[in-house]
């Protein structure tokens, strides 16, 4: 574990990603102390102010709400989105992938369903699901979480397939251990690395997809401060007040970039071929 951490910290890009993620987490946890104004408070007399005007660091939106405070509180929604989506993907996708990779009789029917779901782009699949469930942040998270299941299933299945024929698994079978014990005690612990890497990448994708749903009006509903919704409600001011769209867009870009950089670095750190 210490060796992996050292290799991870030597990767400058991964370190930069970790710093970005840490800042986002701090914003989400300490939002009431960092925000300079009430994110829901409207002052129409101060609408569409530029950055730094009248005590508003990033200006105000079309309803006079402080953009900086709404972005800070929006970090909470984004972090919650990533966590819920990853939990759904792991709780469903990992068991499915494990069963599919280990039990050959169940592999074909499970992968037929997964391949069918993978035939849809992730965002399109999420759109279909949220159209059935209805708009709302929680429903958008569930929809994106369901669309993340095939990715976790594929990754877990691939690792299980590569491990199940190794000598220590054959020895466990020869000693009379049950299939479930072999799967959960001997195989799954060796799948943790790829699953963690997949989780970091899916976290970034989840934030981006839920923001896209919010932009389309199917995610978080106003006045909840969520970055995609903020861009959607401000897009008519793009030419006269581009900062209304620019700052939430930068927030989305930063968190996606942070998790992608960290995920790439974590993948390299967990790769035994790179061990010295």
Q: What pLDDT is recorded for position 221?
A: 87
- Correct CATH for 2-274 of 2.100.10.30, 1.10.10.10, 3.40.50.720, 1.10.3720.10: 1.10.3720.10
- Answer yes or no: are the C-beta atoms of 77 and 220 closer than 8 Å: yes
- Share above pLDDT 90 across residues of the chain, in percent, rounded to a whole number: 52
Rounded CA gap, 122 and 118, in Å? Answer: 8
Q: What pLDDT is recorded for position 272?
A: 57
Three-state DSSP class for 56? strand
For 208-264, how does the pLDDT look when each residue is reduced to its tens digit (9 = 90+)?
999 999 988 888 888 889 999 999 989 888 888 999 999 999 999 999 999 999 988
The sign of the dihedral angle between the CA atoms of 260, 266, 268, 273 is negative
Residue spans per domain, the chain: 2-274
- Answer yes or no: are the C-beta atoms of 159 and 197 closer than 8 Å: no
Rounded CA gap, 1 and 44, in Å? Answer: 54
pTM, full prediction: 0.89
Residue 113 vs residues 117, 129, 172, 246: alpha-carbon distances, Å: 6, 16, 31, 40
Q: What pLDDT is recorded for position 223?
A: 87
Q: Is the peptide bond before 191 cis (omega within 30 degrees of 0)?
A: no
Regions of the chain where pLDDT drops below 50: 275-276
Rounded CA gap, 185 and 181, in Å? Answer: 5
Rounded CA gap, 128 and 151, in Å? Answer: 18
Which structure tokens are listed for 135? Answer: 């708009």
Class of residue 94 by CB neighbours under 10 A (exposed 0-12, middle 13-18, buried 19+) = buried
Q: What pLDDT is recorded for position 1?
A: 61
For 204-220, how does the pLDDT look when each residue is reduced to its tens digit (9 = 90+)?
999 999 999 998 888 88
């Amino acid at each position: 574990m210490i060796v992996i951490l050292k290799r991870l910290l030597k990767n400058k890009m991964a370190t930069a990603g970790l710093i970005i993620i840490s800042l986002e987490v701090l914003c989400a946890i300490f939002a009431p102390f960092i925000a300079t104004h009430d994110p829901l408070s409207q002052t129409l007399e101060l609408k569409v102010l530029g950055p730094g005007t009248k005590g508003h660091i990033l200006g105000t939106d079309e309803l006079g709400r402080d953009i900086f405070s709404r972005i800070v509180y929006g970090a909470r929604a984004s972090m919650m989105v990533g966590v819920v989506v990853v939990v759904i993907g792991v709780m469903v996708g990992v068991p499915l992938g494990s069963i599919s990779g280990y039990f050959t009789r169940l592999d074909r029917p499970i992968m037929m369903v997964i391949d069918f779901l993978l035939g849809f782009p992730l965002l399109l699949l999420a759109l279909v699901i949220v159209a059935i469930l209805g708009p709302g942040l929680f429903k958008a998270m569930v929809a994106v979480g369901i669309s993340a299941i095939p990715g976790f299933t594929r990754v877990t299945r691939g690792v299980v397939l590569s491990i199940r024929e190794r000598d220590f698994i054959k020895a466990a079978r020869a000693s009379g251990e049950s299939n479930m014990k072999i799967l959960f005690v001997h195989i799954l612990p060796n799948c943790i690395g790829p699953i963690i890497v997949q989780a970091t990448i899916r976290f970034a994708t989840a934030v981006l997809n839920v923001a896209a749903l919010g932009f389309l009006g199917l995610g978080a509903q106003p006045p909840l401060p969520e970055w995609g919704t903020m861009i959607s409600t401000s897009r008519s001011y793009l030419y006269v007040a581009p900062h209304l769209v620019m700052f939430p867009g930068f927030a989305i870009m930063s968190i996606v970039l942070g998790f992608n950089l960290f995920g790439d670095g974590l993948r390299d750190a967990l790769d035994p071929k790179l061990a010295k």
